[in-house]
Amino acid sequence: MTDQYTFRDPSTMYADFEPKEVSQPGAGLDSKMDSLADLGADTYRGSGRLEGRKALITGGDSGIGGATAIAYAREGADVAISYLPEEESDAEAIAKLITDAGRKAVKIPGDITSAEHCRTLVETTVRELGGLDALVINAGKQQYVNNIEDLTDEEFDATVKTNIYAMFWTAKAAVPHMPPGSTIIGSSSIQAYQPSPHLIHYAMTKAAINTFLKGLSQQVADRGIRVNVVAPGPVWTPLQTAGGQPTDALPTVGEGTPLGRWGQPAELATAYVYLASPESSFVIGETLHVNGGMPTP
């Protein structure tokens, strides 16, 4: 069976994948994608790298977060996922894959733009899993706006609250519960380094994620907590089809990578596994780029 260890040519992987011009309302659902993303459900093979760990993944119902939740469970971790109530059907599917792997799944719906909900996320995880030692801050908001005159105060505010405030609130609540050996991993983006003109407010938040978590990594290293970041390139997720990119651009966005294609969430999950596992014990304050070869500073 093909899995993440199978020797393959990355330039021809997913050669039969043809992204469509599709638009979804709200946050979007994996289950409603015309071109389904690969979350690793049929291919990810665990090897005990996170045995006994207790993880919380924000945005864990779909896309990169969903793929990471599947991988963590198959590596031996119990997993709590946070998501919007409208994403319940996707969350159910991921929770089933977690339990199918023999691990405990905890679903925590709600809006992370609320400080109280972010604190509840952590409290619920600690109570239901018996602790917390791996936090993946992945949930994000991305809406394209072509002209700054059309970027409303409300959209700017919602993007900052989702991508930056929620990161701060969640990390602040989590750190006191995390024993030595724990990890925090954030999701930045190629946009932090190569901002697209129609994503300036989103790109700004992704640069802030890098800076905040690099600083936090220095602050908590002496407590034995490692903090790192993954910076994806263009990855096929519901975020893209729900206003993250112009609909007519979806078939060609991935062609801007040297591999000439979109990345798939399953290709990102392994980076989050590595940064959570003891294999990366000397890796702190790093931004790991998984972007198909797009040069970064």
Residues with a known catalytic role: 202
Q: Give the C-alpha distances (Å, rounded to integers) separating 85 from 7, 122, 161, 208, 225.
A: 39, 17, 18, 27, 31
| Cα 204 to Cα 12: distance, rounded to the nearest angstrom | 33
| Cα 118 to Cα 20: distance, rounded to the nearest angstrom | 34
220: how many CB neighbours lie within 10 A of its CB?
Answer: 17
